Structures are given as C-alpha cells and as structure tokens.
Amino acid sequence: MNQRTPRRAAAATIAIAALAAASAQAYSPPRGTPDLAQMMLQSSDLAPGAAPVVNGYSDPGGAGLHERAEYDRDWLAVSTTGGVKLQQLQTDITLSTSTAFAQTVFGQIAGLYGASAGRGSLIANVDAGNGSSATSKDARFSKMRSIGVGQQSIYGSATIATKGSTLAIGFAWVRVDAAIAFVLAVAPRPPLADSVTIALAKTMAAHMTSVLRAK
C-alpha cells in the first residue's frame, strides 16, 4: 500500500507536499533537470549513522501538473547534529516547469494546510510511519507563518495524540526559484522546538540555492 497517497490529493498543490511511496517504481527525470539529489537534506547534515529508508526520484504526475521531477529522502530514528532525536524525518523537493508556476502553487499551501483536508493528509503521513490511526480531532495545530527562508517559506507545528503517546511535529515548505522543498520532522514526544525543523529547512534551502545557481 502506498503510505503517502494522502498527500496526492488537491492536484498540484498537494503534489508539492507529496512524499513518494517507499515502494515507488524507478523514475528518470527529463534530460537537463538539475540534480535534485544534491538539493536534498543529506545524511551528512544529520548526526553520524543516519541512513535514509527512502531515497530517489519518483514520478511527479501528469503533464497537467506542470512538474518536471520529484525527489524523496526519508529517515527513521535519526538525530540532528544538535542531538535532537527524531522518530521520523521526511523530505522532498518538487521541481516545477517554471518559477511562476511554483509561486502560484506555493501561494495555495497556507490555505490548504490551514484546513482540515490538508491537516488530515499530514496526520495520515505521520500515522503511516507510526502505526497509529489519529484523526484531526487528535491533533492541535499552530498557526502557520513565514520563516524567511529561501524566496518563500511557510512553517507550522502540531501535537498529535496517538495510541499510548503524543507526537510532536514540525513541517515547512521552502521555495527557491522553480523548486519547492518540504520537510516534516516527527519527535517521539513534545516539545519539538520550532528551531529544529526551521534549521533543517534552512539547510535544504542552502543546498537548493547552490545547485540551482550553479547551472
């Protein structure tokens, strides 16, 4: 079963946040696509021993979504370089066909994830890696806000009550040119400082800028 299907809802917008299935078939991006693997958060950006459980390109969907490529890299049970233990760390980057389209899509994210449908997809994504069955009524979300990363950014956090525990999550989207990155950090218990997820998003933005400006 594709554990990331919930993020495929709402056409282009949700696709930007989509986390590809761990079992996704091999996909080769179009010729001339920048190296998305180098734009991603690297294992070297985390504490020693981090090894991704998902790592590769996935099909970004039909031509109507105006997306060239998507790359997903996820970890389980990792620590940041600052020693913060995470139960899950999920990241992806989607490259649109134009900067203008990426800007348009980014503008829809706050509205989507400020509503129950988008929040439900985030909860389902966290559930998939934790074997729980939480719903929107089990979660408490913060108000999303810009964090001044990249050319556009938005950040939010939540606590999610699961079977026998409460998880803390931080999530962010960052746009650099035509690329939009998503990062979702899951801690085994509250609190999870905003600075943890924001630092990871800043690192991704730095990688994205380095690759895109080197073309």
The domain spans of the chain are: 5-213
Contacts of 81 (CB under 8 A, 6+ apart): 45, 46, 47
pLDDT in tens, 3-59: 343 333 333 333 334 433 333 457 888 888 999 999 999 999 999 999 999 999 988
What's the CATH number for 5-213?
A: 3.40.1000
116-128 vs 99-113: helix axis angle to the nearest 10?
A: 90
pLDDT, tens only, 94-149: 999 999 999 999 999 999 998 888 998 888 888 766 666 787 788 999 999 999 99
Q: Where are the alpha helices (H) located in the chain, listed in sequence order?
A: 11-17, 36-39, 99-113, 116-128, 194-213
Check the CA dihedral 186-1-112-40 and report its sign.
Answer: positive
- Residues listed for the chain: 215
C-beta separation of 189 from 198 below 8 A: no
pTM exceeding the 0.75 threshold for the entire prediction: yes
